[in-house]
Amino acid sequence: MSEREQPETTRPAVTPPRSVPDTPASAPGAPPAGLRRELPAEVPPAAPRTAYGRTGASEAPRTTHPPQVSQKPQASEAPAAGGPGEPGLTGRRRLVNGLWPPRVTRAQLIVALLLFGLGFGLAVQVASTSDTDSALRGARQEDLVRILDELDDRTERLEDEKQGLEKQREELENSSDQAEEARRQTIEKERQLGVLAGTVAAQGPGIEMTIEDTKGTVESDMLLDAIQELRAAGAEAIQVNGVRVVAGTYLSDADGGVSVDGNKIKSPYRFKVIGKPQDLEPALNIPGGVVQTLEKEQATVTVERTDKIVVDALRAPKRPDYARSSSR
């Protein structure tokens, strides 16, 4: 009887198990040989299918290992971008996260305050310079020339004074007998103060100015303006018709002339002035100055430079009634 004719009862009741690779005996928890393997707790992923929708027949059976416990990531390893639940950060997003919110340190705040103060100071300086420039821009050409001349003269006088002080300092430092040098400088200073106070005669270069007033129109305030202009130009000693002009000199109108410190003088008025001629003469001849004002009053004014002017009119020294020297 063929196999097809045999009854169903002759077939084995249990299908023989598929061959499973032997599990090494040393693996913990391995099932006994010859028994069917139990499915693990987690179902492994399905095997890749072929073009016909079935697993390849030539693939070797896979050995299922127990799930391994995930190790803790090292501190140096950064979490992968685009993990589950977290979208990947682009370069622009990382730049925005680094710049905002801003993190300001104390050093950055101090530098910002210093830069703000510097900018404010520069703005104020530029504004003040602009105001000065606008004021000078509206002045006349004659006024600008006069201002420049006065600035040049003042600068030159200050430079001369600076050189004199430096020379005195060097003499004091290099002198073998400093006490004697100090005494000599004290005497020289006393003579200079005597010239200014009018108690000592003086001589030096300067100018002579003569005012002829034939109409009697020259008044005391015009002569006072001439004295003030000469002082502003650097005059060191002034004498008018034999009267020494000092700091406390006053002028007033008198019958047929002018009174200087109570001394009546008449035309012509002769001024003897010691100073730098190159500064004194232009100060009198500036547009709208002393000479033009006197000429409008029909007076004749002549100014001459000379290398030697002698101012010999003296004033008696006056002792103050209340002021006393505070030096001891």
pLDDT of res. 307:
92
Taking the C-alpha atoms of residue 293 and residue 295, their distance in angstroms, rounded to an integer, is 5
- Most confident by average pLDDT, 45-49, 245-249, 254-258, 270-274: 270-274
Reported confidence tier of residue 83, pLDDT bands at 50, 70, 90: very low
pLDDT of res. 54:
47
Pull the structure tokens for residue 285.
């001849």
pLDDT of res. 308:
92
Q: What does DSSP assign to residue 298? A: T
Q: In this structure, which amino acid lies at residue 23? A: T
Reported confidence tier of residue 276, pLDDT bands at 50, 70, 90: very high
| Model confidence pTM above 0.75 | no
Instruction: Indicate the pairing of strand 269-274 with strand 237-240.
Output: antiparallel
Strand, coil or helix: what is 309?
strand
pLDDT of res. 131:
61
Q: Quick: pLDDT tens for 137-176.
A: 667 788 788 888 888 888 888 999 899 888 888 877 776 6
Pull the structure tokens for residue 270.
């002769």
pLDDT of res. 44:
55
265 close to 243: Cβ distance less than 8 angstroms: yes
> Containing H/E element for 260?
strand 257-260
Average pLDDT value for residue range 195-203: 88
66 against 218, higher pLDDT:
218
**Cβ neighbours around 287 below 10 Å, total:** 12
Q: Taking 60 as the threshold, does the pLDDT of residue 84 lie above it? A: no
CA 252 to each of CA 8, 45, 93, 260, 271: distance values in angstroms, whole numbers, following the listed order:
164, 126, 91, 7, 17
Strand, coil or helix: what is 130?
helix
Instruction: Indicate the pairing of strand 269-274 with strand 243-245.
Output: unpaired
pLDDT of res. 310:
92
Strand, coil or helix: what is 242?
coil
**Cβ neighbours around 240 below 10 Å, total:** 25
- Most confident by average pLDDT, 89-103, 119-133, 158-172: 158-172
Reported confidence tier of residue 288, pLDDT bands at 50, 70, 90: confident
Where helices occur in the chain by DSSP H, the ranges are 91-99, 106-137, 141-174, 178-197, 220-232, 277-284, 290-296
Average pLDDT value for residue range 7-24: 48
Q: What mean pLDDT, rounded, does the chain reach?
A: 75
Q: Quick: pLDDT tens for 20-62.
A: 444 444 444 544 444 455 555 555 555 555 444 444 444 444 5
